[in-house]
Amino acid sequence: MYRRNALAAAAAAALFLKASGEEVEAQQAAPGNAPATPFSDSTVRDLARELAKGAYRAPDATLPRGFTDLGYDEYRTLRFNPQAALWRDADRGFQVQLFHRGFLYAQKVELHEVVDRRSRPVPYDPSAFTLGDRAAPPADFGYAGFRIHHQLNTQGVFDEICAFLGASYFRAVGRGLNYGLSARGLAIKTADPAGEEFPVFRAFWLERPHAGANSVVVHALLDSPSAAAAFRFTIRPGDHTVFDVQAVIYPRVEVTAVGVAPLTSMYFFAPNDRAGADDYRNAVHDSDGLMIATSRGEQIWRPLHNPRDLQVSQFAEVNPRGFGLMQRRRDYQGYNDLEALYERRPSLWVEPIADWGPGRIQLVEIPTDSEIHDNVVAFWRPEQPMRPGEEYNYVYRLHWMPVFPGNTELAQIRETRIGAAGRSGRLFVLDIAGGKAGEVPADVTPTLDLSKSAGEIRNPVVQRNAQNGGWRVHFELVPGAARLVELRALLKLGDRPLTETWLYRWTA
């Protein structure tokens, strides 16, 4: 790095770290008068590195009267005026609207605009919001987050394509989709008995796009008691909205329970799991399964489950090709919900760039009695802990899309259904389609490769399914005294897999 850039980055880091301290007197100037400072691709990395050397300080979460006890509906009345959107007055392909602080989003988030490699704070403007009879907060109040708009579905109409709001959460949509599951910058101590740690994005830098741009770049500074990190997002909206992510992590302490590229979703019930669901709808979920592409060429499908007790599943891997939470069922009849429209929720696929080494994909399923709670988390956990003083780099691509196709040579398990089988058993029915499932000669029946960790399998059957041009597999599980059974199934033609590998954890 050139000495000039190094000095500029060090100065920017000093300014930001000082401004983050509670001892600064209102930054000694109104944010709108703050001078522009040099900005380069290393600026946020240098900030994160310096933050990690000191003790953690949570962002300011102090709210004035009128903003402290807002409910969800009240918070939604703090509407941003689209006429005040950043970049609205230029043909830059994107516009930025801002979120007010309040409700669950009390923490102040610093926002900056980058123009010609110089950064300037985005000043807080109360007149850009509908505040009702609430007194306007002070000039240094700041924002809770932001959302980006683009002409995604209709020319001339700027649709919301992604939002960064709350802790390190963000979500996005592709063309024709509605919001569903979320991603996060980093997960720490998820499902830990001592409690989860939620890192926060404490500052963003938005690069002003050039005229007619089809992508936009966002830099983010993440902070938590255990680590600081720098993120660079290159966002390309379309049929499949893609985020190219560069993450550099600087631990403060040794971090063993870390989740890279974490995904968070909701699963309430579906045909494989309707226990206790007295509901007119056929299914309620933002995602219905975890899909994994291994370095060995295997494709895994693990249907989600709303367990009675917290469940953690782990899939050991070296240099995975990808993983994601899918919403495979894409038809209205699968849900019958005119308001939620779960069939329009996106799937989210994580594609690692370069090698991630040894580790495991971890799936956490948390019991829930309502669709308002996100209760599913999936992420990559490296085998070795992250140590203070070291730098950890992860580059990956996020695909927000209807369904990631995966290996198109393999048929997919399109539906998993479970019901009673006599007094002590459970009947499993798997519907399979796609890939080369419809190309099997009429006089050939694929071989079922089926195994279990406990209990007894009875009456396995493989039959053609004229309704979907594929196959149906059904079998009975008699668990006996087992309270948990791991199941694995796939169809083969000779030694070659015809389908992806189906994994399922049955619990009593």
**Most confident segment among 18-22, 90-94, 293-297:** 293-297
- What is the structure's pLDDT at 146? 98
pLDDT, tens digit, 9 for 90 and up, residues 33-71: 678 999 999 999 999 999 999 999 999 999 998 999 899
Q: Give residue 18's pLDDT band: very low, low, confident or very high (50, 70, 90).
A: very low
pLDDT, tens digit, 9 for 90 and up, residues 74-96: 999 999 999 999 999 878 899 99
Is residue 351 within 8 Å of residue 320, measured between CB atoms?
no
- What is the structure's pLDDT at 486? 98
- What is the structure's pLDDT at 276? 83
Q: What is the distance between the alpha carbons of residues 346 and 327, in angstroms, rounded to a whole number?
A: 7
Cα Rg for the chain, rounded, in angstroms? 25
Token reading at 67: 């903003």
Mean pLDDT of the chain: 93
Q: Give residue 275's pLDDT band: very low, low, confident or very high (50, 70, 90).
A: confident
Q: What is the distance between the alpha carbons of residues 217 and 235, in angstroms, rounded to a whole number?
A: 6
pTM here is 0.93
- What is the structure's pLDDT at 33? 63
Q: What is the mean pLDDT of residues 268-272?
A: 96
Q: Give residue 508's pLDDT band: very low, low, confident or very high (50, 70, 90).
A: confident
- Among left, alpha and beta (phi > 0; psi -120 to 50; other), residue 127 is alpha
DSSP string, 303-366: E----SS-EEEEEEEES-SEEEEE----SGGGT--TTT-GGGPPEEEEEEES---EEEEEEEE-
Residues in the chain: 508
Single-letter code of the amino acid located at 418: I
Q: Is residue 183 classed as helix, strand or coil in its secondary structure? A: strand
Q: Which of 117, 113, 124, 119 is CA-nearest to residue 148? A: 113
Q: What is the distance between the alpha carbons of residues 430 and 462, in angstroms, rounded to a whole number?
A: 10
DSSP string, 216-279: EEEEEEEE-SSEEEEEEEEEE-SSSEEEEEEEEEEESS-BSSEEEEEEEE-EEEBTTB-TT---
pLDDT, tens digit, 9 for 90 and up, residues 351-398: 999 999 999 999 999 999 999 999 999 999 999 999 999 999 999 999
pLDDT, tens digit, 9 for 90 and up, residues 221-235: 999 999 999 999 999
Q: What is the mean pLDDT of residues 328-338?
A: 97
Bridge partner list, 475 = 428
pLDDT, tens digit, 9 for 90 and up, residues 483-497: 999 999 999 999 999
- What is the structure's pLDDT at 197? 97
pLDDT at 17 over 90: no
- What is the structure's pLDDT at 3? 33
